Structure 1
Amino acid sequence: MKGSFYGLKGKQLSLFTIVLMCTTILIWGWEKTLILTNLVPPQTRLQLGSEIRDDYVDKSVLSEQEIDVGNGVATFAQNDTVKEELRLGAPPGSEQGSDESEEISNDIASNQVEKSGVLTSGSKEREEHKEVQEAEIDGKAVDARQKEKAEENNSDVQKQNVKLGTSLAPVCDYAKGKWVVDHKKPLYSGHGCKQWLSSMWSCRMTQRTDFSYEKVSWQPKDCQMEEFEGSKFLKRMQHKTLAFVGDSLGRQQFQSLMCMITGGKERHDVIDVGSEYGIVQARGDVRPSGWAYRFPSTNTTILYSWSSTLCDLQPIEASNPATHYAMHLDRPPAFLRQYIHKLNVLVLNTGHHWNRGKLKANRWVMHLGGVRNTDRKIAVIWKAKNVTVHSIINWVNSQLPKYPGLKAFYRTISPRHFVGGEWNTGGSCDNTTPMSIGREVLQDVSGDSDAAGAAKGTGVKLLDITALSKVRDEGHISRFSKTAKPGVQDCLHWCLPGVPDTWNEILFAQI
């Protein structure tokens, strides 16, 4: 037929040609147009993709399977973005891979899952793998958020500790360290501190000529000890009371602190407040049962109460001048029972009066549970002392919840340095120059194991001075004692200024 093609007329042929061209353009447009692509199932889009795109999809599947959980979120987002960039005709990593294109890609992926009736087996596996990894990522994200929250809380605690003047740093072990020469010492003069210091303990007032022991300072091993200042101490103890309760070594520590606070100078503003604490000198006593002084500028009270054994002593026959005394091993002294509520810092000590000679001379009779002790094992001196040390520490520990503002310390025993005998049998301590300079004291346990064992697990802190004092044999009064008989040396008490000043420096650092 003329003018026809397989029976089609020219107009029909032209119309067919136009439809075919439009269909071709439409199919091409679906691949290139974002809106139309949204309507195409994923299988169709993959079939229409180029070989390059198919290769990349295969590689992306592999990367999804090998993805590291730690950066999974970022990698998934990156793969989706790169796929979208390829589909849009942009090279991977180009500026078109923006946040906006990532959002569009994620929307497309969501629509594909919703509109696709069936996913291929590979797609299902990839989706399941992705869900598992996303769950793991979410779990790790929760852990990370919890860790971050914990760090924030810890930071808040540290800030609060700074405000409170505390620290999370390890507590300084003041019992370890060494003695060093310190030309800033002493903190006061034995010549000048006559208002507080007993003349028998001021070696500057005796015939002694070597005073190098005054120029020695204790340096803790891994920390710096706070420098003592009288004004700083009074400010820290404003409206507070510090009490020493113990034997004559406790009295030395008390007098040392009074001299340190005042710099050894007279203070006419300091008030005697002994009567407020029942501290008076009874008729016939050589000295009062203690001393109590108040610094009005800061309302700070420093006192000492005599209790050589830290246990309660009661006359068995009150009307008999020659009566024996019940030595109640398991009862705290009357002073503590009556006045502990008024104390803010308490320093206890005992030790050197626990011997048969003292018990006999003072007519002390051991009592336990309110009755005379008949247990021979407890009657052994060191065991009796142990009973009392444990009893007093446990009792004070039981009082701490009642008085939250109270800090309690038990000072370990001060070492003696008698050589060749005891105080009354020719024992001596003739060294007068420091032999301990640079020598480290590094023991891991206290030199006073009884005290350490009693304080362990309680709120009573150990003021551990035994080992560091043991290497200071030159610091004793020695043969320069004013009151001792010829041939009798004092290798128990210390020259002041001297070693007890260090005990107070450590105490100051801990309050």
Structure 2
Amino acid sequence: MRLGSINGLRFKQLKLVILAFFMLFLLWKWEKGTYYDSGILQPDPLVLTRPANSKFVDQHTSSEEDFPSADPLPQSVVKVEKQITGASPPLTVVGYSIDDADEIEMPPLEKKECNYRNGKWVSDNRRPLYSGFGCKQWLSESWSCRLTQRTDFAYEKFRWQPEACEMPEFEASKFLRRMQDKTIAYVGDSLGRQMFQSMMCMVTAGKQMPDVEDVGAEYGFVLAPGAKRPDGWAYRFPSTNTTILYHWSSTLCDLEPLNPSDRATSYAMHLDRPPAFLKNNLHRFHVLILNTGHHWNRGKLRANKWEMYLGGAPNNNRNIAVIWKAKNFTIHSVVKWLDAQLPHHPQLKVFYRSISPRHFFNGDWNTGGRCDNTNPLAKGSGIHLNHSEDTDAEGAVRGTRIKLLDVTALSRLRDEGHISRYSIKATLGVQDCLHWCLPGVPDTWNEILAAQL
């Protein structure tokens, strides 16, 4: 009888030990984040707030340039979807009594770096930052939608609110003081020129500034015989000795005439060389903003008589000859070159601006495609992405000191902000769904730039 009692006691002890081990195992698994409902605790990342049934064709048109035939961005409709990607670490609960709460010093919140890519568009009646009627000194007529027959201007009344931080208000006088004795250079295609004109309007509040000096000749910006416009513009604000300039380089690679004495000559398009303008003037810049993308198609190459060169000779690498790979190769090449130059120019900050999206609905630029929606944010107001939509640009700057000015996704929500059918120089039946009305979306690009300087 006594033996049975002893055995029973040992059996109970054994059960308690096993139960203790099991509880320890459950506690360990809880710490690992396995046994809670990830569907409840996991945040709901929105890739892009767009109706799942919308048809989105992302193509290109322009009232001032030849129409390209290819789109460098994927032509995909991104659906709003809930993604459960795995369990997050368990939430830590700090308990304290109400009576003692005032005496408890809470730990400071960890400062989170501002992610300008993610956020939402919010209505702001203080916008725009300048008048489309007034900024005639710097703004092209064809981009000033206030001078056209357009009657809706709701697109001017929005600002970008980044996620988890406040973007400082742009103040022209404060910005010029910060940029005292500095030169800001935009180098790229016509979307880069829109950004340049936007900045000129922003720092002058769209007002006439007769004291601003035209210093384009110092940078070789002179109108060549037979040209529609010079290769760039440069203006200096004497009060702060601030220079803002733009140089046209639609592909960010060096172009060299094959026969300089022949005006109809073809051009060597050196994919592995930065534009000569950059090499000759880099030491003069303090802020440099680059962009390219919309000129990379066969139509542009044929129209401009550009021939791909690599290593100083015609390109024989069939892999690089594929147009999107040639673009990607060139972007990586110029970024790598700039990154190598930065130690020699400690005053310089370089930004690569991601590609500006094109909005064509129900066709292409030459097949009746339209972007005449006037309802702001019809596709949603906010985005949350863990990577850029411009993967070429993001990949090029990764691991370098060049910063990505990522504007692609936030601009994609603003299809109502394009020039559309209202351009002064528009062709009948063709809408400009590439360029933006100014004031408009490019002002936000400059605000994000200014916030990061």
SS, match of residue 491 in structure 1: strand
C-alpha contact (below 8 Å) 1:210/1:433 kept by paired residues: no
Please give the residue correspondences for 1:103-502 in structure 2 after superposition, counting only pairs within 5 Å. 169-435=111-377, 439-502=381-444
SS in 2 for 1:174: strand
> How far, CA to CA, are the matches of 1:430 and 1:414 in structure 2?
18
Q: What whole-Å deviation, never above 9, does each CA across 1:489-508 have from its counterpart, x for those lacking one? A: 00000000000000000000
TM-fit CA distance, 1:424: 2.0
TM-score (norm. length: structure 1) = 0.66
**AA in 1 matched with 2:182:** K
Q: Which residue of 2 aligns with 1:35?
A: none
Which piece of structure 1 moves more, 263-272 or 422-431? 422-431
1:119 aligns with none
Aligned equivalents of 1:186, 1:383: Cα separation in 2: 39
Cα 1:438–1:356 shift into 2, 3 Å: closer
- Contact 2:112/2:164 (CA < 8 Å) preserved in 1? no
Describe the SS at the equivalent of 2:159: strand
Q: For residues 382 and 329 of structure 2, what CA distance do their matches in structure 1 show? A: 33
1:454-486: CA deviation from partner (whole Å, max 9, x where unpaired): 000000000000000000000000011111211
Q: Which has the higher contact order (CA 8 A, sep 6+)?
A: 2
**Aligned position for 1:32:** none
Distance 1:503 1:488 in 2: 26
Partner deviation per Cα, 1:99-142 (whole Å, 9 max, x = no partner): xxxxxxxxxxxxxxxxxxxxxxxxxxxxxxxxxxxxxxxxxxxx
Q: In structure 1, what is the Cα distance between the partners aligned to 2:339 and 2:244?
A: 22
Which residue identity does 2:171 align to in structure 1? Answer: E
Contact map agreement 1:190 1:204 (CA 8 A) in 2 = yes
Greater fraction of residues in helix? 1
SS of the aligned residue for 2:252 comes to: coil
Task: Name segments (4+ residues, structure 1) moved above 3 Å.
Answer: none
Give yes or no for contact 2:380–2:413 (8 Å, CA) kept in 1: no
Distance across 2 between alignment mates of 1:492 and 1:208: 17
CA RMSD between the two structures = 1.1
Which 5+ residue runs of structure 2 have no aligned equivalent?
Answer: 1-109
Contact 2:268 2:307 in 1 (8 A): yes
Whichever residue aligns with residue 446 of structure 2, its letter is N
Q: Can you list the C-alpha shifts for 1:380-413, whole angstroms capped at 9, x where unaligned? A: 1100000100001001111100000100000000
Give the match for residue 45 of structure 2: none
Residue in structure 2 matched with residue 114 of structure 1 by the alignment: none
How far, CA to CA, are the matches of 1:388 and 1:501 in structure 2?
27
Tell me the CA shift for residue 436 of structure 1: 5.2
TM-score (norm 2): 0.75
**Alpha-carbon shift at residue 425 of structure 1 (Å):** 2.3
Task: Answer whether contact 1:179 1:437 (CA < 8 A) is retained.
Answer: no
Amino acid at match of 2:309: H
Question: What is the identity, as a one-letter code, of the residue corresponding to 2:335?
Answer: I
List gaps (5 residues or longer) in structure 1: 1-167
Question: How far does the alpha carbon of each residue in 1:266-295 deviate from its partner, in whole angstroms, 9 at most, with x for none?
Answer: 000100011111221111110011100000
Q: Percent sequence identity over matched residues? A: 67
In the alignment, which residue of structure 2 is the partner of 1:45? none
CA distance in 1 between partners of 2:205 and 2:161 (Å): 21
Residue 438 of structure 1: how far off its partner (Å): 6.6
